[in-house]
Amino acid sequence: MTDGTEIKAGDPITPEQVGQIVVAEDLTLTAVNEEIRYRINYEPGKEGKIAGITSEDVAVEQNPSGSGVTPEEGFEFDHWTADVDVVLADGTEIKAGEPISSDQVKQIIVEQDIILTAVYRTASAPEVPNTGSMTNGSDHALSNNYVYAVIAAILISISSFFILKKSLRR
């Protein structure tokens, strides 16, 4: 080196040091490129837990494998959000904080560290099919017509009672 530093075979040197090498004999330089990797962290959000990996290191311009979540009771997973803007393999740009589906997570082109946070929604009650009938506590279904007939009979009985009561007062 021009500053008198001696470099031994196998010692790493920086690109800046290459220009300072004083060559006294044949010399072979071998470039070593390290793969650049970024950290993807999966955060569970407020209403759940991570059910898969909590983080992964992904090579630059590659895609994460994604993770899963287990929502707390009364909640269901809705989407992920990223702490930075991301670009998907198809060129779609998604701004930080905007919804990202689990499928889209696997299409993110990684160019920096990313924190993905799970977002949940309140679980909806299971939909009860409208069968057009009610049950009377047994396995026998009561048709709507039967129920209407019973209600009509009760109303007629009440009306008859008041009419009878009124005629007795006279």
| Residue 105 maps to a domain | yes
Q: Pick left, alpha or beta for residue 6 (phi over 0 → left; psi -120 to 50 → alpha; otherwise beta).
A: beta
Q: What is the tens place of the pLDDT at every residue in 99-130?
A: 999 999 999 999 999 999 999 999 986 666 66
Residues 49 and 103 in one domain: yes
Residues 116 and 43 in one domain: yes
Residues 154 and 98 in one domain: no
Residues 115 and 41 in one domain: yes
At residue 142, the pLDDT reads 55
At residue 151, the pLDDT reads 82
Closest alpha carbon to 108 in 49, 56, 70, 48: 56
Q: What is the CATH number of the domain that holds 108?
A: 2.60.40
Residue 39 has pLDDT above 70, yes or no: yes
| Residue 20 maps to a domain | no
Instruction: Please tell me whether residue 34 adopts helix, strand or coil conformation.
Output: coil
Residues 44 and 72 in one domain: yes
Residues 45 and 116 in one domain: yes
Residues 83 and 112 in one domain: yes
Please check whether residue 79 is in contact with residue 100, taking contact to mean a CB–CB distance below 8 angstroms.
yes
Please check whether residue 60 is in contact with residue 112, taking contact to mean a CB–CB distance below 8 angstroms.
no
Q: What is the tens place of the pLDDT at every residue in 155-165?
A: 887 777 667 66
Q: Which structural domain, as residue segments, surrounds residue 112?
A: 37-122
Q: What is the tens place of the pLDDT at every residue in 4-18?
A: 777 777 777 777 777
| Residue 148 maps to a domain | yes
62-66, 106-110, 143-147: the lowest-pLDDT one? 143-147
- 90: Cβ contacts below 8 Å, ≥ 6 apart: 107
Please check whether residue 63 is in contact with residue 100, taking contact to mean a CB–CB distance below 8 angstroms.
no
Please check whether residue 95 is in contact with residue 82, taking contact to mean a CB–CB distance below 8 angstroms.
no
Residues 43 and 114 in one domain: yes
CA distance 117 to 115: 6
Query: What mean pLDDT value characterizes the chain?
Result: 84
Residue 108 DSSP code? B
Residues 48 and 111 in one domain: yes
